Amino acid sequence: MMSEIKTHVDEPSLELLRNGDKAEFAKLVDMYSGKIYRLVLRILGNQRDAEDVLQETFLNAYRSIARFEGRSSISTWLYRIATNEALMAIRKQKPQVSLDVEGENDRGDAINKPYHFADWCCLPENDLQSAEVKSQMRDAIQRLSPALQTVFILRDIEGFSVKKTAEILETNEGVVKTRLLRARLRLREDLSEYFGKNLGEVS
Amino acid sequence: MMIKHLNCHDLLSSLSDYIDGDLNADLCKELEQHLYECPNCRIVVDTLKKTVELYQHEEEDATLPDDVRMRLFYRLNLQNFLKHD
C-alpha cells in the first residue's frame, strides 16, 4: 500500500530529460510549475501574463533541455528561464521600461537617502497585516524597476541565497547585494509614507 | 582601516548586511553605537527590518491552480500525464 509513496521527492533525472523522456518532463513540470508560477505572478502582477510566461518557460525548457550542460542545478536553470521570460513580457507590455543590466539608471541616483521617518515598526500585527497594507505592498513592488524587483523577489520573498539569486540572474553577488539594498530601502520608503499618513504623523 | 565615526550616510550602505546579520563585528559595533545616538537611523533600521519581514510573511503556498495546471499540460502536449495527485 505504501510502496509507491516516497518520503521525499527526487530530482528528475537529467539523463532522461535530455533524451526527451516525456514522463520525466511531466515530473519536472509538477515539481516546479507551482513555484515558477508564483514567482512570475509576483514579477508581473497579473494572472493572465503569469500563465503565459509559465507556459513559455516550460516550452523553452523542453526545447533546450538537450543542450543544458548541468553547470547549475536544474532549478537555477529553470528559474533563470522564467525570470528572462518574465522580463521579456514586461518589455513587451511597457517598452519604455529600462531593463538595463546594471540597474543603475532606474529612477535616478544610486542609493536614495531615507526620507520618511514614521516609526511604524511596532504597530499591532493586525494593523501591519491588513488587506490594505498587503495591497500597498504589492503596488510598491510593481513600482520598482524590473532589475530591483527581481532581486528582491528572489532573495527576500522566495528566500534564495545571494549566491543562488546571482546565479539565476547571471550576475555577481555584489550586484545582487547593491540592488537588494536599494529595493529594500525603496519599499521601506513606500511603507513609511503609507503608515506615516495613517499614523497622522508628519514625516 | 579603522572607521572612527559613522555618519548616517556611511551607515546606509551597510544596512542590508546588518539586518541580514552579515556585517563584520567591528562595523556592527560602530553601527550600533551610531544607532544609539541617532533616533532617525534607528527608525530606518527598525522599519527596514520590518519591511523585509512583512514581505517574507507574504509567502503563499506554491500550489498551481488546477485549471492553470491543466492548460499547461495541454500546451506542453503532456496531457497523457495529467493525473491528479
Residue at grid coordinates 503596488: A139
Other Cβ atoms within 10 Å of B6 Cβ, number: 20
Q: Which residues of chain A have pLDDT under 50?
A: 1-7, 101-103, 105-109, 201-203
d(CA A105, nearest CA chain B) in Å: 18
Per-position DSSP letters for B11-74, written without gaps between them: HHTTHHHHHTT-S-HHHHHHHHHHHHH-HHHHHHHHHHHHHHHHHHHT----PPPHHHHHHHHH
Is residue B67 one of the residues assigned to a domain? Answer: yes
Topology of the domain comprising A98-203: Arc Repressor Mutant, subunit A (1.10.10)
Spatial CA neighbour of B18 closest among B60, B49, B51: B49
Spatial contact of A196 and A118, defined as CB atoms under 8 Å apart: yes
Spatial contact of A102 and A175, defined as CB atoms under 8 Å apart: yes
Between CA A83 and CA A89 the distance in angstroms is 10
For B52, the domain range is 8-81
CA dihedral B59, A118, A122, B57 (to 10 degrees): 0
Is residue B2 one of the residues assigned to a domain? Answer: no
A16 touches chain B (CB under 8 A): no
User: Is B81 close to A22, i.e. CB distance below 8 A?
Assistant: yes
Is residue B71 one of the residues assigned to a domain? Answer: yes
A160 touches chain B (CB under 8 A): no
Is residue B1 one of the residues assigned to a domain? Answer: no
CATH architecture, range A14-93:
Orthogonal Bundle (1.10)
Cα B17 to its chain centre, rounded Å, is: 10
- Looking at residue A103, what is its pLDDT? 47
Q: What is the number of structural domains in chain B?
A: 1
Other Cβ atoms within 10 Å of A64 Cβ, number: 11
Direct distance between the N- and C-terminal alpha carbons of chain A, in angstroms, rounded to an integer: 64
- Looking at residue B85, what is its pLDDT? 53
Residue at grid coordinates 524587483: A149
| Mutant choice from A156, A190, A201 vs B, greatest count of B C-beta within 10 A | A156
Spatial CA neighbour of B50 closest among A187, A42, A154, A39: A187
User: Is B62 close to A181, i.e. CB distance below 8 A?
Assistant: no
Residue ranges covered by each domain of chain A: 14-93, 98-203
Is residue B3 one of the residues assigned to a domain? Answer: no
User: Is B12 close to A129, i.e. CB distance below 8 A?
Assistant: no
- Residue-wise pLDDT tens digits, B30-63: 999 999 999 999 999 999 999 999 998 876 667 8
Other Cβ atoms within 10 Å of B56 Cβ, number: 12
Between CA A43 and CA A55 the distance in angstroms is 15
Residue, of A108 and B68, whose pLDDT is higher: B68
- Looking at residue B10, what is its pLDDT? 80
Is residue B21 one of the residues assigned to a domain? Answer: yes
What region, left, alpha or beta, does residue A13 occupy, with left being phi > 0 and alpha being psi -120 to 50 degrees? beta
Sheet strands (E) in A28-151: none
- Looking at residue B72, what is its pLDDT? 97
Between CA A129 and CA A97 the distance in angstroms is 31
Direct distance between the N- and C-terminal alpha carbons of chain B, in angstroms, rounded to an integer: 59
CA dihedral A158, A77, A144, A116 (to 10 degrees): 40
d(CA B51, nearest CA chain A) in Å: 6
The residue length of chain A stands at: 203
Between CA A178 and CA A147 the distance in angstroms is 11
Percent over 70 (pLDDT), chain B: 87
Residue among B9, B12, B56 minimizing CB distance to A157: B56
| Mutant choice from A16, A21, A33, A130 vs B, greatest count of B C-beta within 10 A | A33
